[in-house]
Amino acid sequence: MKQLDELNKIKKIDRQGMLETEENFYHQLVEAKKIADSADLSKIAGKNYTGIAFLGMGGSGFVGDLIKSLIMDDSDIPIETVKGYSLPGYIDKDWLVVPVSYSGNTEETISCLKQAKERGATLLFVASGGLLEEMAEEYEACMVKVPAGHQPRGAIGFLFLPTLLALRDTGLAKVNSSDIDSALGQIKELSEKFNRGVETDKNFAKQIAMAIGNSLPVVYGSGGYLSAIAYRWKCEINENGKTPCFWAEFPELNHNETVGWERLAETTRKLTLLILRDEDENIRMKTRIDTTVGLVKTNFSKVIEIPVKGKSKLAKALSAMYTGDIASVYLALLHGVDPTPVEKIEKLKAELAKLD
Ligand code: PA5
């Protein structure tokens, strides 16, 4: 029996139930859709915004990356993601600013949010509580409140879907209902395939974790939305797997990183390259990636291609994200690591809080 099929052992390692959170991702999305349906958006509706800015860090900041990657090709206005203490000077009263913080207490997000408020921007808060909830009340602003009790990265469905749908309902994003339904259907199918009860031989998420093993993963996304997903894989492998991981995106990586694998062979041969591959890659992207694999494969311990399928960009994005999320949990469990705690992040936040 393979290690990841020993369910009693897995349960003992995963003390706070991160695998269960992942297995329930479909249900989280269904609940998230209900939250979106009941959100009161009257305070942000009917305005002619000149831009949208997402504020947020880490797991919450990823919401902006993902939404931007999904809607920017069809957007008439610029979309920014702000990750830091300072709000760019061009974000003014005519922008919709969306602070996203699962805890509601992240200081960088709060710093930018205060600057946005001073400039008179319209605000859409997304949080489970904390200071953001208090500020939303004080400012009498629109808020999407999501359920508490998860790690921010484990609440991505709650944070992402209602935010995307709020933008759709205010006319700022084009999202077809059929795309949402097909995305949810696909996640349901995947969650059955990736469930802990499905043995390694038939479970692709477990196989990815096994393939990474003790190597250092590098994740490549093939442009557009898959770059955001490659970044998410990196963060999930870091936070759940407590494993170093790096990422880069096509085509930019072909203009620098591709050459960087030539030296330090002893080190690079301990790395696994994972490439997210859209089944609908155009011929230029396909040729680019195939050629890159040919050029660099001997520099790595192995190269694994992750096929990304779906009826829409949304379905593909969520499926590719979900595959990485649950594989990163399996990676942790394979090595006897509890995926939930992120002690170093908490210690750092506690040190900074002493400055208040
Ligand atoms: O996953 C995590 O725990 C972090 O990346 C957090 O999301 C990040 O520190 C920001 O915190 P919050 O999501 O509560 O704003």
pLDDT attached to residue 179 = 96
User: Ligand 1: which residues within 6 Å by Cβ?
Assistant: 57-60, 101-103, 106, 109, 151-153, 239, 342, 345
Q: Which pLDDT tens digit goes with each residue over 53-73?
A: 999 999 999 999 999 999 999
Contact by Cβ (8 Å): 270, 301: yes
Q: Which pLDDT tens digit goes with each residue over 245-264?
A: 999 999 999 999 999 999 99
Q: Which pLDDT tens digit goes with each residue over 173-231?
A: 999 999 999 999 999 999 999 999 999 999 999 999 999 999 999 999 987 899 999 99
| pLDDT of 2 over the 90 cut | no
Determine phi and psi for 275, rounding to 5 degrees. -120, 125
pLDDT attached to residue 222 = 86
Q: List the catalytic residue out of 255, 266, 279, 351.
A: 255
Band (pLDDT 50/70/90 cuts) for residue 170 is very high
Region for residue 46 given its phi and psi (left: phi exceeds 0; alpha: psi -120 to 50; beta: otherwise):
left
Mean pLDDT value across the chain? 97
| Dist CA 310 CA 245 (whole Å) | 26
**Among this protein's residues, is 239 annotated catalytic?**
yes
Mean pLDDT (whole number) for 309-330: 97
Mean pLDDT (whole number) for 12-25: 98
Mean pLDDT (whole number) for 144-154: 97
**Helix (H/G/I), strand (E/B), else coil: 135:** helix
Positive or negative, the CA dihedral 298, 299, 300, 303 is negative
- 151 CA from centroid of ligand 1 (Å): 8
pLDDT attached to residue 223 = 72
| Dist CA 189 CA 187 (whole Å) | 5
| pLDDT of 1 over the 90 cut | no
Mean pLDDT (whole number) for 155-178: 97
- Ligand 1 pocket test: pick from 22, 63, 83, 106 the residue with the most ligand atoms within 8 Å of its Cβ: 106
Half-sphere exposure of 76 (CA within 13 A, CB side): 6
What percentage of the chain reaches a pLDDT higher than 70? 100
- Ligand 1 pocket test: pick from 102, 163, 231, 239 the residue with the most ligand atoms within 8 Å of its Cβ: 102
Model pTM score: 0.97
Q: Which atom of ligand 1 is nearest to the CA of 349?
A: 9
Is-cis flag, bond preceding 147, omega within 30? Answer: no
